[in-house]
Amino acid sequence: MQGVDINLKADTLTNVALNLIKTAATCLPDDVKEALQKAYKKETSKTGKTQLETILKNIELAEKQQTPICQDTGTITFYVKAGAQANNLDKIEPALVKAVRQATDQVPLRPNAVNPFTLKNSGDNTGQHMPQMHWEIVSGDNVDITVTLKGGGSENVSALAMLNPADGVNGLKRFVVDAVVKAGAQPCPPTILGVAVGGGADVAMALAKRALLRPLDEANPDPQLARLEPELLAALNKTGIGPMGLGGDTTVLGVHVDYAARHPASFPVAVAFSCWCDRRASARINAKDEVTYLSNTKRGSNT
């Protein structure tokens, strides 16, 4: 089919991505703030409550002053859903890279892109495979862009296991609980967990990370997984690790589970952690070059 020229202008793409990075760095999505507020009200540990209070004040100040919520502004990942009828899709990647460079300077972001061999920091958050890009081609002519800023503390406790298929769902549950206990305070709890099973090692981890994009107030559409998620959440919050690992009832704010078909002999399980500072923001560019910001506030806004 002939593509529709939706005028994917490089400048629009860069401006939208820049706004998304700024928003994600300084303002948490409403669902995360609401989950933290609820946890604060319910927390029975005095120390845990104090930690949650500090986190909430931190969020409020960052939003008011338009400064980064955390000193580690993370690594930047884009998830792009590109309408198959849109033209100029090749403009997207360079425009997003440009936005990362501008955001590093303007927000500002901590330069977090280091060559593992030369140890050279690029200084602008770009480098080999950075920012990371995940593409999905969908029908229509909209382009949806989501950005996440993921801190090193939560990334460092990511866990992957190739379980024995005989371990089944009970083995999966044990592995998730062990991963959270082992992680302790390192991922700055309360965390959000993306859990994925099947596919293969790479697919499981990619799905686990993508599962973190689902808002905390959205139920899993799969009835079996919708039952498993609160069960895991309740078990994880019995660990007593608590806010910032200092003890309490709130270790995890939410568990999001996804899966892929697996090889009969393989049972990969991946756990991706997000710290409480769960930074993500999304926007849609439509065929008329109009932009709608889709997240961080339920109100949404058009430009």
**Residue numbers at the binding site for ligand SF4 (CB under 6 A):** 70, 72, 74, 151-154, 187-188, 275, 277
Q: CA–CA distance from 55 to each of 59, 61, 190, 220, 234 (Å)?
A: 6, 10, 10, 27, 22
Q: Helix (H, G, I), strand (E, B), or coil: what is residue 290?
A: coil
Looking at beta carbons only, is 149 or 291 nearer to ligand SF4?
149
Rounded CA gap, 2 and 230, in Å?
Answer: 46
Rounded CA gap, 99 and 178, in Å?
Answer: 39
Looking at beta carbons only, is 44 or 71 nearer to ligand SF4?
71
The DSSP line for 13-59 is: HHHHHHHHHHHHHH---HHHHHHHHHHHHH---HHHHHHHHHHHHHH
Looking at beta carbons only, is 127 or 190 nearer to ligand SF4?
190
User: In the chain, what's the furthest Cα-to-Cα distance?
Assistant: 62
| CB 99 to ligand SF4: min, Å | 20
| CB 48 to ligand SF4: min, Å | 16
User: SS3 breakdown of the chain: % helix, strand, coil, rounded to 5?
Assistant: 40, 25, 40
| CB 62 to ligand SF4: min, Å | 11
Q: Minimal CB distance to ligand SF4: which residue?
A: 151
- Is-cis flag, bond preceding 108, omega within 30? yes
| CB 31 to ligand SF4: min, Å | 17
| CB 221 to ligand SF4: min, Å | 28
Looking at beta carbons only, is 183 or 211 nearer to ligand SF4?
183
Looking at beta carbons only, is 74 or 243 nearer to ligand SF4?
74
Looking at beta carbons only, is 126 or 158 nearer to ligand SF4?
158
Q: In sequence order, which residues have a C-beta less than 8 Å from that of residue 1 and are 6 or more positions away? A: 84, 85
- Can you read off the two tokens belonging to residue 34? 């609401």
| CB 82 to ligand SF4: min, Å | 29
Rounded CA gap, 15 and 11, in Å?
Answer: 6
Looking at beta carbons only, is 162 or 185 nearer to ligand SF4?
185
| CB 24 to ligand SF4: min, Å | 12
Sign of CA dihedral 229, 234, 236, 242: positive
